[in-house]
Amino acid sequence: MAIDQVLDLLSCPHCAAPLTRWHGSVACAAGHTFDLARQGYLNLLGRAAPANADTFEMVAARERFLSRGWYATLADELVAILRRPSPGPVVEVGAGTGYYLAYALQRWGGRGLAVDVSPAACRRAAQVHDQLGAVVADVWGRLPIRDASVEAILCVFAPRNPGEFARILSPDGALVIASPLPDHLVELRGRLGLLEIEPDKQRRISGALADHFAALESVECRYRIDLDAESVIDLVSMGPNAFHHDHRRLATQVAEFDLPITVTVAVSINAWQPVHHR
């Protein structure tokens, strides 16, 4: 199982002790035991997934959308800014299907750990690369990852926990965050009533990171894509907007578009270095 490639990075969510493999489960020295799913991922959440976790339908929509290459340019920019100064392990938080992490591993080699609160997402992420392990965990809580054990963190349209990111990064590691700019998908937002992007989002992210990280590099990734009806529906259905839209009504709305529709991709990509570790 790919989880074996990253087991040395993990720690018990109850006592923070190292985890070791024992047949179909993993355990710590204190006796806390966690079963491995037959699909290859490890659930360290310790409770039911929250209501806002990605569903199987959302994961399927994301996989279809990303497989068509619409965000490949974004993935290229992420890999370019990451630069991988060393072959150490990479973690993607809020990883979803593990698309961006697998993209980085294919380019740079090494091994990776996908973390997401959704078992459906981790089930898929565990299958995308033979050097990629997937763990169900809550990014808002203490990550079940050992101190200073990873060389890079990817956070793409995902929650951010600066203190935990600083704790698990090695002193010379890098944090790469991708977040939407105000005009990201602007052609669809008004017409479909999608969730808005805060105009001061980048300032808020910088402020939240300031106690733990110093800025390294920043780029804006901007390009346009021509989406057919299926891709528009999958784009809306693969993220938080899925919880606010009825699929049948969405399909009816998109059928009224003059297709294909040209849509703006506008993403801020920022690299950060830790300033201290706890």
Sheet of strand 33-35, all strands in order from the earlier edge strand to the far edge: 20-22, 25-27, 33-35
| pLDDT level of residue 129 (50, 70, 90 thresholds) | very high
CB atoms within 10 A of CB 127: 17
Judge whether 202 and 272 are in contact, CB under 8 Å: no
Q: Which of 47-51, 68-72, 78-82 has the highest mean pLDDT?
A: 68-72
Query: Looking at residues 125-139, what average pLDDT do you find?
Result: 95
- Mean residue pLDDT of the chain comes to 93
pTM flag (> 0.85): yes
Position 199 scores a pLDDT of: 85
What confidence tens digit (pLDDT) does each residue in 257-277 have?
Answer: 999 999 999 999 999 999 964
Two tokens, residue 139: 């990014």
- In this structure, are residues 153 and 169 in contact, taking their beta carbons and an 8 Å threshold? yes
- In DSSP terms, 226 is beta-bridged to 262
pLDDT tens sequence across 142-186: 999 999 999 999 999 999 999 999 999 999 999 999 999 999 999
pLDDT at 278 over 50: no
> Nearest to residue 25, comparing CAs of 42, 50, 8?
42
Q: Which CATH number fits domain 2-274: 3.40.1190.20, 3.40.50.1000, 3.40.50.720, 3.40.50.150?
A: 3.40.50.150
CA angle 92, 96, 99 (to 5 degrees): 70
Q: Tens digit of pLDDT for each residue in 15-26?
A: 999 999 887 899
